[in-house]
Structures are given as C-alpha cells and as structure tokens.
Amino acid sequence: MTRAANKSGVAGHEPSGGDAAARKASHAERVLALLKACGTPRTAYQILDDLRDDGINAPTTVYRALDRLVATKAVHRIETTNAYVACRRESCRGPSVLAVCDGCGAVTEQSSEEMGFDLGALLRRADFDPATATIEIRGRCGACRAG
C-alpha cells in the first residue's frame, strides 16, 4: 500500500484525484478485509460474489484491487489454483512458502530467512537479482491426514 501511495504523486494532476484514490484504496481494503476474514484462498470471482452486496460488481474492480494487494504483498496469489490468500506475516520479506492442502484447500504461509539467504546466493551466482519469490508446496495438512 505504501508503494502505491508513493506513486500517486502522479495523480496530483487530476482535479478529483484524491477522491478516486480514496475509492480505489477502499476497494483494495475491502478485498483484503474479506480475504483476512475467510482465511482460505478465494478466486477473483468468489471475491466478486462476496462483495456484490457491498457495491462492487465489476470483475475489473476486483482484479485491480487484487493487483494492488499482490504488488504490496498484502495478498499472495496461488498460481496453481489461481486463487488469492491474505498474507499472514507482519511484513512479508524474503521468500514466502505457501503450503496448500489438497484435502481441504487450507493454506499456511511459512518463511525462512536461511532459505531466503540461500536462494539469494544461488541466484546471484546466476547473475540474477530476484525481486519476489513465492514457493507453493502441495500436500495434506495435519487435520486431513488425521481424518
């Protein structure tokens, strides 16, 4: 969110730029609040369904809000299921490891500084400067294994 706010210096040209920015921010905030409340990943269309009563009825509104949230790492996109989940970490630095349960769909997020360090070293050797890293691991959670 801070990154988007910094960029909005450009929006100073528009006469009603402030209002538009506030409205966009609140869409993103509502999407984030929903994802935080449900805890499990949701697709853009499920989010749209959930927020329809809230006055959000265009898929592009949801996609734009999700783009902003993913860019600031408030939300992570799960590539293999094309769903979105709220970040559980205080500040999301280093690689995220998303453990996706094939049984119940629950997602947990872990991070490891050591792993981030190792990955960084690995990629520097390949002359590559990594910006973000999200690692998805599929498997079964403890509850599903017990059931």
Q: What is the C-alpha end-to-end distance of the chain, expressed in Å?
A: 40
- Residue 19: partners with Cβ closer than 8 Å, 6 or more residues away: none
Specify the stretch interacting with Zn ion by CB under 5 A; choose among 19-27, 53-61, 63-71, 106-114: 106-114
Q: Identify residues 52-91 at the interface with Zn ion (CB under 5 A).
A: 87, 89
Residue 39 in contact with Zn ion, rule: CB under 5 A: no
SS3 43: coil
User: What would the two tokens of residue 137 be?
Assistant: 């691991």
CB atoms within 10 A of CB 122: 11
Binding segment for Zn ion (CB under 5 A), chosen from 42-50, 55-63, 122-130, 134-142, is 134-142
> Among 39, 59, 103, 130, which residue interacts with Zn ion (rule: CB under 5 A)?
103
Q: Give least dist CB 13 to Zn ion, A.
A: 34
Q: How far is Cα 43 from Cα 49, in angstroms, rounded to an integer? A: 10
Q: Which spans of this chain sit near Zn ion (rule: CB under 5 A)?
A: 87, 89, 92, 96, 101, 103-104, 106, 141, 144
